[in-house]
Amino acid sequence: MDLFLQQILTGLANGAIYACLALAVVMIYQAIDHFNFAQGEMAMFSTYICWAMIAGGLPYWVAFFATIIISFVGGLAIERIIFKPLHSAPVLSHVVVFIGLVAIFNSTAGAIWDHTIKTFPSPFPDGSFAGLIGLHEIGMFFVTLIMLLGIFGFFRFTRIGMAMQAAAANPDSAGLVGIRVGWMLALGWGLAAAIGAVAGMMIAPIVFLDPNMMLGILLYGFASAIVGGISSPGGAVAGGFLVGIIENLAGTYIPAIGSELKLTVALILIVTVLLFKPNGLFGKTIVTRV
């Protein structure tokens, strides 16, 4: 029983990270209709920036919030500089640019900070809660949860949040009510980059810091987005927790999977959901009367 509870709790904690990446991916998907393959590498790069600041002597939380702001500005800049000129380019151009970004961030991080694996500090104390789950995992869960709630509050209750939703849903109409659609897209990129940065900084103490740290995690993020429904930010977050739990339980209780083949679970989930429920578990089918 303890093992079961332990796996569920760990699943929830990891799930919070997947939820963040899923949300970041969904936000950009809603705006430009493509998966941002570079989301994970952007998060990895942000985490390195945080590491460098801490190594330079800044207190953890100062570096943490500074990294969020730097990532936000960086995301914004990527949209304005790279994706804005590609606005009406075909799908393939976007895909190629995403792959280019993956390579650029990965090699730049390797070039600046070299490829050796580094430890990343946790702001939370060592130790565990009742021997079930580490305190870092608990802290990570709450940090990401607070952020996710903040993001949803922002979209639901602020004028800019509403405008961002409108710009993603119907750019033509958004322009016709005076929303500057291009800037809303850029803001979406900034937010997505900031969300990814938090996920990266929170998961780094567990997976350690290296240029490839986010590869597997992004795959779980994609799986979460698809399981939850690529059209639904709330669904993507729920999908994140679900994937976290499923992955842990499958790894523990299905001997054939173990910890070696866990990542395969993510791929199986992606294929299964796309085959049987392409809108995802929570993806809304838009009701329209004519």
Pick 163 or 270: Cβ nearer other proteins: 163
Q: Which stretch binds other proteins (CB under 8 A): 127-135, 176-184, 197-205, 244-252?
A: 176-184
Looking up tokens 């090699």 gives 107
Q: Which residues contact 111 (CB under 8 A, 6 or more apart)?
A: none
Pick 60 or 183: Cβ nearer other proteins: 183
Q: Give the DSSP letter of residue 289.
A: -
Q: Does 178 bind other proteins (CB under 8 A)?
A: yes
Binding-residue total with other proteins (CB under 8 A): 23
Q: Please answer whether residues 101 and 79 qualify as being in contact, where contact means their C-beta atoms are separated by less than 8 angstroms.
A: no
Q: Does 288 bind other proteins (CB under 8 A)?
A: yes
Looking up tokens 């980059």 gives 193
CA dihedral over 39, 45, 51, 56, signed as positive or negative: negative
Q: Does 179 bind other proteins (CB under 8 A)?
A: yes
- How far does Cα 127 stand from its chain's mean position? 27
Contact pattern for other proteins over residues 131 through 160, marking x by CB under 8 A: ----------------------------x-
Q: Does 176 bind other proteins (CB under 8 A)?
A: yes
Pick 256 or 286: Cβ nearer other proteins: 286
Q: Which stretch binds other proteins (CB under 8 A): 15-23, 140-148, 163-171, 214-222?
A: 163-171
Pick 56 or 178: Cβ nearer other proteins: 178
Q: Does 187 bind other proteins (CB under 8 A)?
A: no
Query: CA 73, 76, 78, 83: dihedral to nearest 10 degrees?
Result: -170
The residue within the footprint of other proteins, chosen from 57, 255, 259, 289 (CB under 8 A), is 289
How far apart, in whole angstroms, are the C-alpha atoms of residue 75 and residue 87?
A: 16
Q: Please answer whether residues 46 and 70 qualify as being in contact, where contact means their C-beta atoms are separated by less than 8 angstroms.
A: yes
Burial 217-236 (b: 16+ CB within 10 A, else e): bbbbbbbbbbbbbbbbbbbb
Q: Does 169 bind other proteins (CB under 8 A)?
A: yes
- Footprint on this chain of other proteins (rule: CB under 8 A): 159, 162-163, 165-166, 169-170, 172-181, 284, 286-290
